[in-house]
Structure 1
Amino acid sequence: MINDDKYFEKEFYSYIEQIEENQESFELILDGIERKVFDEINENNVFEILEKVNTNIFSLILKKHIYKELQDSNWISFSLTNKETEYPINLYGSVFFDEEPEQLFIENIKPIRINGKEKIYSMEIFKEASRSTIVKTLDKDIPHDVVVYNVGQGNCNGIINSSGHPSFYFDFGGGVFQNTKTYPGKYLNPGRIKFCYTDNPTVVLSHWDWDHMSSVWKNEHKDIKKSFWIVPKQQIGISHLKVAVDLYNRGKLLVWPNKLKFLNTNNFQIQKIDDHNKKDKNNNGLVLTVNINSKKDDSILLPADANYNLIKKRIGYIGLIATHHGASTHNCLNKLPRAKKPKNKIAYSFGVRNSFHHPKSISITSHIKKGWDSMYFTFNGHISLVDNIIKTMPCIKNSCRTNCTLSNSQ
């Protein structure tokens, strides 16, 4: 425990960012802010005040019976104390757990309602983009490939144009929190990653989970903030809100219209799924289908973490990214998409020795039963999902402006 009393007797409001169930307990990742700062934030000052707000990411382990008292709320409050309690907590300065945490203790844990602040933390403060703006931003190139990048326990995919460049990215994430060690350049994934910005690629964010957007946090990838971000409107915490406000202040935030359930062009389809549980970000985000060479018969499904049964599917696909990194929980494998024969490819995007033990064997076997037996894993390198494109450089004739490392090896 640290002796610095700058934290003590301070009350924090924290958004529950992630929950990981263990045998006798739950580990909660919390996105926290001092209550007095939380109280100061309103719809009029949020776009200025967040620049001064510190990031406080906490890791807290609670026994299951304690967590059950909190589980009906997205937010909890607690007080830091300088005395030892039954609730030790670790404080990190980032979503990447690179440094040793500050070890503290808390008390007075309780669920809270953020009355009067719902509009801020459900992204209602941002104006929705128009359908025409989204189409103009995205539908620039005919897609020739989809590449699944090795980003550890996370997701980042490139929709590749005829020059070999990403026309846009679907998610921009990588390993975070307990799985920081799987992020590119870390000891479980030593090869570093450098992204391509040659054609000013847009980012389409499936949902506001850090493992699907964490690279925006990295200073070496700061150029991605010059790109437009097309994002779903979801319930988010303070650190996600900081990113959204930063992009908004740069004029780069395009919020998906809630009433736009499908967007179809010759090159892709985006579906806004909705399972009516606003706490479940996995199943209230965006799902992408890419038509290779503008052919709907040669389509690739990118579900992010969404349950398959919520997706309006086609008869079959030539490529698939296994939903939720190969998870099997919360009925995510119901109504699996079918693979087209004779050639198809499925990619599993996950990090070696990840804390969730992805991919689950039941996920792999369930996909095989639907014809997805040509399997590729991102820890072996970036994966092309178009069968006849193997080991191609990402940028033809050395035209990459950023000297990226996105050549696919599978």
Structure 2
Amino acid sequence: MQDHHQKNHEWIEYFASIEVIDGELESGVRVIIDAIPRGVIAELKALSPEQAVEHFEEKFAFLLLTTKFSPDLAASLVNKKNWASLSLTHIDPTDENAIEAQSVNFSIDEDGTGQTFWIKIEQKEVPKSELSVLVSLAEVDFLADCDTLDCLGEPRSIDEHGGIAVYDVGQANLCAVVDTYEHPILFFDLGWPLPFNKRSARQHGPFDPFILDDPDTKIPIVLSHLDWDHWGFAYKSGQARYDNKRGFWKSEVSYHDEIMSRPWLMRRPRFHRHKLGPSHIHLVLTLSQTPLEDLTPALKIWPAKRSRMDWGACTIIRCSPEPGTITTPAFLRNNESLALMAASTSNQYKVLLCGDADYPSIGASYKRRLTGIVAPHHGGSVTSWSIPPASGVGQMVMSTYPGCYSNVPSVNTETEARDKGWEIRKTCNRRHCHGSCGNNGNQLIELSPYQPECGCGQVPRGGLCLSL
């Protein structure tokens, strides 16, 4: 129990974006409640947009919670673009309408869930006008699109023996384009498991994907979309604390400075369309206010009019759902995203990294003659018969862990992939590294007939070995 001075049985009001987590359990539907105190909204409204950005570190606050809802309650709150209003207390109110929830201590070092709370849903639909102050903050209106991918730095060569690394981060996604020495030159996503999936994270040995960073040319990150299991590795800590001065509970968040102080490329966030919660807004604002060596912000916004851009051997792709597909916020966030294709000089090897985008959301020209795929949505359900056929002995990697979600990986997806010629490998298939990085399930998808191999010793020290 954390120290606090909240008055007994005092209910504190919040607005919240509520998201369902993959997989339903018999005892209920797991949700994440991404909440912002109503008092914070009032404080932000009293400021000009410029002041709100300038003072966001002291003014902006959120609280991440997790609980289970009944299927009916989840359906009424999750698949619509509306936010809910709720009240919260840390004292058991013995109220049959109150739902027990736990704070999310979302970090690498902290242990799972923490403080216990009780919540009551007060209003299932908050008027958009109540949240208007968050729109410009979430969508970083003050930040212009990038003109080119020079904002990521000079592309480094993957040589003739490079590949795609899919690192074992449990039920999450963290990939890299690597050179002939297994050294990352570009990251695609930076995920870490949600706390209730913490058991899926590798248990032994080191893991430091930035051990090979050059201080002068830090390895950039392409973020497919704003989901915690695609960017949560950036968290340093996030325990729930009571703010005595302001009178509400909040997640006391800090990030790893060395991770934040590098270029992060993403599409411009969409507040209402993607039902973007305050924890994601906090990350975006922090990146927008983190200066790099050239004094530009770490946050780099994808140019809205570009469908693709090249960076060395990589093509970064804007994903768009097909007309007539579903328009739930979760689907749109997954599919209005970025994907990445890496190709060898001869185009004999082509690997597609999908993030959580379904195959129809990725242009047809990027799905031809593929020799490798990092499966969308950790191997979860995709549109039937949309998986591209493998070229040669195709390698499909699923970044997943058994038992986290009942529908991930999807049996239908695996069956179709094998029918299309794909050899499936999973990051949960751990084995002992011949070096010093313990047991892990790191996977390599080749971009040449030759396998990258470290010769410096730093790769095993960082737990990044691919030649296990």
* TM-score category, normalised to shorter length: 0.7 to 0.9
1:301 equivalent in structure 2: 352
Secondary structure of 1:193's partner?
Answer: coil
Unpaired stretches in structure 2, ≥5 consecutive residues: 238-254, 291-296, 431-440
Higher mean alpha-carbon deviation, 273-282 vs 146-155, is at 273-282
Tell me the distance in 2 between the aligned counterparts of 1:281 and 1:296: 30
Tell me the distance in 2 between the aligned counterparts of 1:192 and 1:352: 22
Tell me the distance in 1 between the aligned counterparts of 2:310 and 2:119: 51
Shift of 1:405: 1.7
Residue 453 of structure 2 aligns with an amino acid whose one-letter code is: T
2:138 touches 2:284 (CA, 8 Å); kept in 1? no
Tell me the distance in 1 between the aligned counterparts of 2:191 and 2:124: 31
1:36 equivalent in structure 2: 39
2:368 equivalent in structure 1: 315
2:395 touches 2:424 (CA, 8 Å); kept in 1? yes
Tell me the distance in 1 between the aligned counterparts of 2:374 and 2:445: 9
1:85 equivalent in structure 2: 96
Shift of 1:338: 1.6
2:13 equivalent in structure 1: 11
Selected match of 1:110 from 124, 130, 141: 124
Higher mean alpha-carbon deviation, 75-84 vs 304-313, is at 75-84
2:138 touches 2:281 (CA, 8 Å); kept in 1? no
2:465 equivalent in structure 1: 407
Secondary structure of 1:117's partner?
Answer: helix
Secondary structure of 1:242's partner?
Answer: helix
2:198 equivalent in structure 1: 180
1:194 equivalent in structure 2: 208
Identity %: 22
Q: Does 1:270 align with 2:316?
A: yes
Secondary structure of 1:178's partner?
Answer: helix
2:56 equivalent in structure 1: 50
Q: Does 1:347 align with 2:397?
A: yes
1:392 equivalent in structure 2: 453
Summarize the alignment of residues 136-285 of structure 1 with structure 2, pairs less than 5 Å apart: 137=152, 140-143=155-158, 144-185=162-203, 190-196=204-210, 197-199=212-214, 200-218=218-236, 221-234=256-269, 235=271, 236-250=276-290, 251-264=297-310, 267-275=313-321, 277=327, 279=329, 280-285=332-337
Secondary structure of 1:260's partner?
Answer: coil
Call closer, same or farther: CA 1:175–1:192 in 2, change over 3 Å. Answer: farther
Call closer, same or farther: CA 1:174–1:255 in 2, change over 3 Å. Answer: same
Residue 101 of structure 1 aligns with an amino acid whose one-letter code is: Q
Q: After superposition, give the CA deviation of every residue in 1:293-313 in whole Å (9 maximum; x if it has no partner).
A: x33331100001111111113
Query: What is the count of residue pairs matched by the alignment?
Result: 398
Tell me the distance in 2 between the aligned counterparts of 1:368 and 1:384: 19
Tell me the distance in 2 between the aligned counterparts of 1:391 and 1:160: 8
Call closer, same or farther: CA 1:332–1:208 in 2, change over 3 Å. Answer: farther
1:73 touches 1:113 (CA, 8 Å); kept in 2? no
Tell me the distance in 1 between the aligned counterparts of 2:192 and 2:101: 22
Tell me the distance in 1 between the aligned counterparts of 2:328 and 2:306: 17
Q: After superposition, give the CA deviation of every residue in 1:312-354 in whole Å (9 maximum; x if it has no partner).
A: 13322111111111101xx44542112111x331111012421
Secondary structure of 2:287's partner?
Answer: helix
Shift of 1:246: 1.3
1:370 equivalent in structure 2: 420
Shift of 1:165: 1.5
Higher mean alpha-carbon deviation, 297-306 vs 230-239, is at 230-239
Shift of 1:198: 2.2
1:32 touches 1:56 (CA, 8 Å); kept in 2? yes
2:225 touches 2:337 (CA, 8 Å); kept in 1? yes
Tell me the distance in 2 between the aligned counterparts of 1:351 and 1:222: 29
Secondary structure of 1:140's partner?
Answer: coil
Q: After superposition, give the CA deviation of every residue in 1:245-281 in whole Å (9 maximum; x if it has no partner).
A: 1111112110112221222456122111122747221
TM-score (norm 1): 0.87
Selected match of 1:98 from 103, 112, 118: 112
Tell me the distance in 2 between the aligned counterparts of 1:399 and 1:296: 30
Q: After superposition, give the CA deviation of every residue in 1:171-215 in whole Å (9 maximum; x if it has no partner).
A: 000211321222234xxxx44411134241100000000000110
Call closer, same or farther: CA 1:55–1:91 in 2, change over 3 Å. Answer: farther
Residue 315 of structure 1 aligns with an amino acid whose one-letter code is: R
Tell me the distance in 1 between the aligned counterparts of 2:123 and 2:201: 32
Tell me the distance in 2 between the aligned counterparts of 1:383 and 1:204: 19
Q: Does 1:383 align with 2:383?
A: no
Secondary structure of 2:152's partner?
Answer: helix
Higher mean alpha-carbon deviation, 162-171 vs 108-117, is at 108-117
Higher mean alpha-carbon deviation, 283-292 vs 134-143, is at 134-143
Shift of 1:225: 1.1
Unpaired stretches in structure 1, ≥5 consecutive residues: none
Shift of 1:118: 5.4
Tell me the distance in 1 between the aligned counterparts of 2:113 and 2:73: 28
Tell me the distance in 2 between the aligned counterparts of 1:399 and 1:373: 30
1:320 touches 1:347 (CA, 8 Å); kept in 2? yes
Tell me the distance in 1 between the aligned counterparts of 2:396 and 2:414: 10
2:72 equivalent in structure 1: 65
Shift of 1:102: 1.4
Tell me the distance in 2 between the aligned counterparts of 1:62 and 1:100: 19
Tell me the distance in 2 between the aligned counterparts of 1:151 and 1:64: 29
RMSD, matched Cα: 2.9
TM-score (norm 2): 0.77
Tell me the distance in 2 between the aligned counterparts of 1:141 and 1:356: 40
